[in-house]
Amino acid sequence: MKNYIIEFIGTFFLVLAIGLTGNPLAIGVMLMVMVYMGGHISGAHYNPAVSIAMIFRGVLSVKEAINYILSQLAGAFLAAIFVQWVGGSVMQIAPSSTASVLQILAVEAIFTFALVLVILNVATNPKTEGNSYYGLAIGFTVMAGAFAGGGISGGAYNPAVGTGPILVDTIIGDGNTLSNLWYYLVGPIVGAIVAAYVYKLTTD
């Protein structure tokens, strides 16, 4: 249970930082400190794509991953509600109106790939076990991805970041972002699975 509580809390604060600031630096720093806060307890995934990759890595069972993902989705959903309550407007995750479907999916997949590959190497590899920089590496990866691709795809790189706010927008907003949901499911999950296989290929 403690793992799921940590996953809920970490995802909540990640989405809160996204919704209240939209600033890649603040988002990366928030993720970094949440990773340091919960890494020794749950592994600090805060991202369903990461949890899916951990199935392939052999760190989580399918049942555990499902519970992780449900905790992450709950944290993201409640954070989006909180953003609407304190900010007065519904949090929206959406790609650029000028980006094509392929561009959106590619950006989401590529930067999720980078994030997951970094996590697998700095946080799960026996050769880097016990290092003190894993939180920095993960936080800076997300920050760089947000700066580089946020203006194209919306910069979620995380199905929870996409799903929570979009569900809130659908329930209490205008629902205009619902059609974007599949981008933030397909792109990140594909990127995470490819990263898991690349990790296996390059470390075994």
CB of 11 closer than 8 Å to CB of 69: no
- Give the pLDDT band (50/70/90) at residue 116: very high
For range 70-94, the mean pLDDT = 95
Which of 8-12, 86-90, 176-180 holds the top average pLDDT? 8-12
pTM, rounded to two decimals: 0.96
Q: What percent of the chain has pLDDT over 70?
A: 100
What's the pLDDT score for residue 175?
78
What's the pLDDT score for residue 130?
86
Q: What is the pLDDT of residues 146-160, one digit of tens each?
A: 999 999 999 999 999
With 90 as the cut, is the pLDDT of residue 88 above it? Answer: no
Query: Within 13 Å of residue 105, how many CA atoms lie on the same side as its CB?
Result: 10
With 90 as the cut, is the pLDDT of residue 86 above it? Answer: yes
- Give the pLDDT band (50/70/90) at residue 176: confident
- Give the pLDDT band (50/70/90) at residue 84: very high
Which domain covers residue 42, as residue numbers? 2-203
Return the CATH number at 123: 1.20.1080.10
Helices 48-57 and 101-123 cross at an angle (nearest 10°) of: 50
With 80 as the cut, is the pLDDT of residue 204 above it? Answer: no
Structural domain count of the chain: 1
For range 40-61, the mean pLDDT = 96
What mean pLDDT, rounded, does the chain reach? 96
